[in-house]
Amino acid sequence: MANLSVFRANDKTFTLTLTNSSGTAIDITGDTIKFVVKATDDNAGAEVIAKEITSHTDPTAGKTEIVLTDTDTTVASADYFYEIRRISSASIDTTLAKGKFIVIENLTT
């Protein structure tokens, strides 16, 4: 997945559709999607943003949303790192994506 960016103190929704290698939707009924943002690209340090999604927009079609509120994105403007993981209903933990998470300062308040 590419870099993700948000404007500081703004709402932002990222829509995900999970598919297998042949492009067929993965049923995520009963699964948890974890979204974590940290200052470093390792296990060290505190989470800057953390979300656990258990209610999906269309789980049988593999669709879910990561909804960030203005409170979630009220962090220092900087380049962070994110990771998205899926914990299946069978407790199988899979990393779906990692990359840069960029918080952009607004020009006005």
CB 82 within 8 A of CB 35: yes
CB under 8 A, 24+ apart: contacts of 23-28: 25/60, 25/61, 25/62, 25/63, 26/62, 27/59, 27/60, 27/62, 28/56, 28/59, 28/62, 28/64, 28/86, 28/88
Residues in the chain: 109
pLDDT of residue 44: 80
CB 49 within 8 A of CB 36: yes
Q: Does residue 19 register a pLDDT over 60? A: yes
pLDDT one-digit tens code per residue, 60-96: 999 999 999 999 999 999 999 999 999 999 999 999 9
CA pair distance 92, 67, nearest whole angstrom: 23
Domains defined for the chain, CATH in brackets: 4-104 (2.60.40.10)
CB 100 within 8 A of CB 3: yes
pLDDT one-digit tens code per residue, 23-62: 999 999 999 999 999 999 888 878 999 999 999 999 999 9
pLDDT of residue 64: 98
With cut-offs at 50, 70 and 90, classify the pLDDT of residue 107.
confident
pLDDT of residue 1: 55
